[in-house]
Structure 1
């Protein structure tokens, strides 16, 4: 016969309330070892060690949380990002981020990339490639604009009939068949 396993197991990491934290600190101040405290309160030894370490470092049993957190990207930074993008369309995301850092706007690359996606400038940047000529850059830029239009209007159903005709007129141009003729 196999031993019966319980489907309900206690989580390894528990959020301790202030009373339990106080008991841990009290027993530690009475020179009890971590092992004795963990056996008496049925708490993992590492949790006891963490509570004691926070008490030793900060002087309180629970670390203080930040009440007000500054936003990573302010509206001013967002507008700077948009202006930067529109001023140099053929820079890569890393180069655009470096220009912000050079302008003394500290922002993480990941946060920068996420905010560019939120602003609508995701991976469709027309980045410079070695060996590309001006014709290739213009074609890539027009493809990026088409892709942006398609994702933001056509797929979301926010287009009207005249926009639909514009999208159909731009499609052959992207593949190099016809000139761009907006049918307004």
Structure 2
């Protein structure tokens, strides 16, 4: 009887561990449901541009590492001329090479014109990063985001030179720089009011 009870307890322990492991490894998103969400007309060009870099939707850390290993993704420095990257809790400091170079050019042009720097608040996100973000921010995208392809980044328009407060002069200057690259056919951008940032997506021109 003693051995029988021991066997039962051991079996329950193994089952519990197996269930826990299965739960931990299960994705926190439903890809089929995410794909059903239709993008807005304003956002659709960002997704269309994203698909031009031959990067599949980034689901998790493993998919990001694959593109890092094959040289597709470029590491974004924590600071450069004209920009700083804030601590990233729900995104990763990697971009396709063209997006990284575009960020550097946008920041350098902004620095030339203002002698200031802006703050990058979000970069590449996996689907797992995105569903974790939604737990703390209900405004996060419910569908596929251009951040999920590694060629979008967000620039705050209320954080300049290390200060977190509005500066209308620098905000206007930043938007003029973005408009310059938009008219040159290099990027798309959206001014997001809820997040107080410019969402920038690079085109595969």
> TM-score scaled by structure 2?
0.21
Give the structure, 1 or 2, with the largest relative contact order (CA under 8 Å, sep 6 or more).
Answer: 2
Larger Rg: 1
> TM-score scaled by structure 1?
0.23
Larger proportion of helix: 1
